[in-house]
Amino acid sequence: MYNSIQDTLIIGKKVIYLPTCHSTNDIAAEIVHAGLFDEGTIVITDNQVKGRGQRGTEWVANPGQNLTFSVILTPVFLPVADQFLLSQIVALAIRAYVNKYVPDVKVKWPNDIHANGKKVCGVLIENAIQGSKISTSIIGIGINVNQQSFTNAQATSIGKETGEQYTLGEEFHKVLRCLDMFYADLKLKISHDRIRTDYLSNLYGYNQSITFRHQNRILTGTVDKVTQQGKLIMQLLSETGTIEVGLKEIEWLN
């Protein structure tokens, strides 16, 4: 069902398909540990029973209705100080894919993808560091494609937003082409400022008033910028000043 793809530079030339597995990121980590991989190898399943999301959450998806896979990369060209660029290009690539079907698509910091205000994709990136370089990166991606009902009212799928059903094998190849194009762009150092600019311009809350909880306080503000390390700078509207937040330090309320 999920075949390798030959018209990319790096990603998807080897695809490992498992009908069921606990976590594609965990399987990918075992493959990396054994040294039995080429860069761009994909691990994909129809039924991920222990999928992991950001902040220790669980990623739940109905079997056979969505895309749940992991990509193994070796971005040794990328300094550790710039590792958030990897998160940015993955988010931008998936946003570009979803945007082919849904007009209103935003990145919700750091790398969730929202379509018409609801979450359609989650990403979990696990990097291994050697010295000052990233030796391997395992990128777990869950994209809701055909699922129609969700226990979380803030979740959606491409199919639910468009009223259409899609062939998962075809959509898988479309996603891989987007990821491959953005990853190739990342290798060009001259593109790094543009990546950061594009990411900010497509970020939920940029030039938009939003409400959030920070340190048990409910505040209103706008996204001002993102630091090189990936921290979020919020320009406050409910009071004077800015705040800098990292992962797990902010909760969006709208």
| DSSP per residue, 74-135 | --TTSBGGGTHHHHHHHHHHHHHHHTTT-S-EEEETTTEEEETTEEEEEEEEEEEEETTEEE
Do the Cβ atoms of 5 and 176 come closer than 8 Å? yes
* Mean pLDDT, residues 28-53 taken together: 89
Q: What is the C-alpha separation between 111 and 61, in angstroms, rounded?
A: 18
Residues whose CB is less than 8 angstroms from the CB of residue 54 and which lie 6 or more positions away in sequence, other chains included: 110, 112, 122, 123, 124, 247
* Mean pLDDT, residues 88-103 taken together: 98
Domains in the chain with CATH codes = 15-201 (3.30.930.10), 210-252 (2.30.30)
Supply the DSSP symbol for 2. -
Query: Over 70: is that where the pLDDT of 56 sits?
Result: no
pLDDT at 242: 96
pLDDT tens digits, 115-129: 999 999 999 999 999
